[in-house]
Amino acid sequence: MTIPKSPSGSAKESAIHVVTTDGDKFFNSQQTLSQITKSWSFDSPAGTSGTYYFGGFYQFHTAAFTPAAGTNVGTANSAYAAHALVVLGAASTDMVVRVTGTSITDTATRTTSDTEDIDTSGGSTNAYYETSKKWIGQVSYTLQSGTGVTINAGFAKYWDNDNSNFEIVGFEATWLGGAADSGADIELLHHQPTGWTYGGTTPTTPTAVASMATDYSTESEIVNGEDGAWKRVGLTEIINGALSEGIMWRITTTANKAFELGTILLRTIPK
């Protein structure tokens, strides 16, 4: 099962407005609740198109498998520092999956040949699980006990504002187009244990909180050399960062270098 993370602190009411963009803070006394603004820059590679993540990522194994004798997931020596995940392809009565590899903590404690068991007992098809530990480099998935069922596996890294609970109230993205692209999209993803769908190759993630292509429909094209923007207000999406939830941005392009450069500002309040 997913092991909850301990909260790093509690939300406080305040007479100030705290805006964080690059680690510095400034104050606005006209607000009654602390509001934190987190920023990310983004772009897309010049030599290719596809799906890219900012503020976190999903890295899935290339195919589903049954964790019997052991399957290696990830690339040796890669600096993932991410949670290992499991999405069930069938109901599990008693399966326990063991993840083995090198773990790393947020205080830089590195442990080689570390293990963590993911108990999927009683889980239904499409159920999601992740380790509490974070891993670097390649890890191995093996069947520790019970009857094995097919799974999707991989890594999940997400922004949880230092394991805290917060509410997303709005965001704004601006960019400069580097190529014409009629199939581009920017999505805000809420990483959580619900809403997953098992796949024969890779799983489908929970539905995006917001999608630029969905909001704009026909007028969602990226134009080479022109600026673009996407803003949303009035959101009330709760992120339980103390319980292994978080957010990330997914950028999809169908033309090389569609986004020359861009910036996203996310506005949140503590909960």
Q: What is the CATH number of the domain that holds 97?
A: 2.60.120
Average pLDDT over every residue of 37-53: 95
Per-residue model confidence as pLDDT tens digits over 134-188:
999 999 999 999 999 999 999 999 999 999 999 999 999 999 999 999 999 999 9
Per-residue model confidence as pLDDT tens digits over 109-131:
999 999 999 999 999 999 999 99
Extract the tokens encoding 159.
């922004």
Same domain, 44 and 137: no
Task: Give the domain-ending residue among 112, 133, 157.
Answer: 157
CA distances from 122 to 88, 95, 206 (A): 11, 9, 21
| In a domain? residue 33 | yes
pLDDT at res. 205: 98
Q: How far is CA 137 from the centre of its chain?
A: 18
Same domain, 184 and 123: no
**Spatial separation of the C-alpha atoms in residues 215 and 133, rounded to whole Å:** 37
Same domain, 23 and 142: no
In the chain, what percentage of residues exceed pLDDT 70? Answer: 88
pLDDT at res. 33: 58
Per-residue model confidence as pLDDT tens digits over 200-221:
999 999 999 999 999 999 999 9
Of 97, 99, 89, 32, nearest in space to 63 by CA:
89
Of 206, 227, 228, nearest in space to 215 by CA:
228
Q: Is 246:56 a contact under the CB 8 Å cutoff? A: yes
Same domain, 167 and 38: yes
Residue 216's φ and ψ, nearest 5 degrees, are: -95, -20
**Does pTM top 0.75 for this prediction?**
yes
Residue 124's φ and ψ, nearest 5 degrees, are: -95, 170
Mode of pairing for the β-strands spanning 165-177 and 259-270: antiparallel
Mean of per-residue pLDDT scores for the chain:
90
| In a domain? residue 7 | no
Same domain, 152 and 41: no
Q: Is 252:51 a contact under the CB 8 Å cutoff? A: yes
Same domain, 153 and 256: no
Number of domains in the chain: 2
DSSP 8-state assignment for residue 197: B
| In a domain? residue 4 | no
Same domain, 147 and 176: no
Task: Give the domain-ending residue among 112, 140, 157.
Answer: 157
Q: How confident is the model at residue 34 (pLDDT cuts 50, 70, 90)?
A: confident
**Spatial separation of the C-alpha atoms in residues 78 and 71, rounded to whole Å:** 17
Q: Is 38:18 a contact under the CB 8 Å cutoff? A: no
In the chain, what percentage of residues exceed pLDDT 90? Answer: 86
Determine the structural domain holding residue 263 and report its residue range: 18-56+159-270
Same domain, 82 and 199: no
DSSP 8-state assignment for residue 158: -
- Asked whether residue 5 carries a pLDDT value surpassing 70, the answer given is no
Task: Give the domain-ending residue among 99, 123, 157.
Answer: 157
**Spatial separation of the C-alpha atoms in residues 77 and 237, rounded to whole Å:** 36
For residue 113, give every residue at least 6 positions away whose Cβ sits within 8 Å of its Cβ, in sequence order, or none: 100, 101, 102
| In a domain? residue 11 | no
| In a domain? residue 8 | no
Amino acid making up residue 239: I
For residue 108, give every residue at least 6 positions away whose Cβ sits within 8 Å of its Cβ, in sequence order, or none: none
Residue appearing with tokens 């509001």: 35
Q: Is 55:248 a contact under the CB 8 Å cutoff? A: yes
Same domain, 63 and 90: yes
- Asked whether residue 13 carries a pLDDT value surpassing 60, the answer given is no
| In a domain? residue 261 | yes
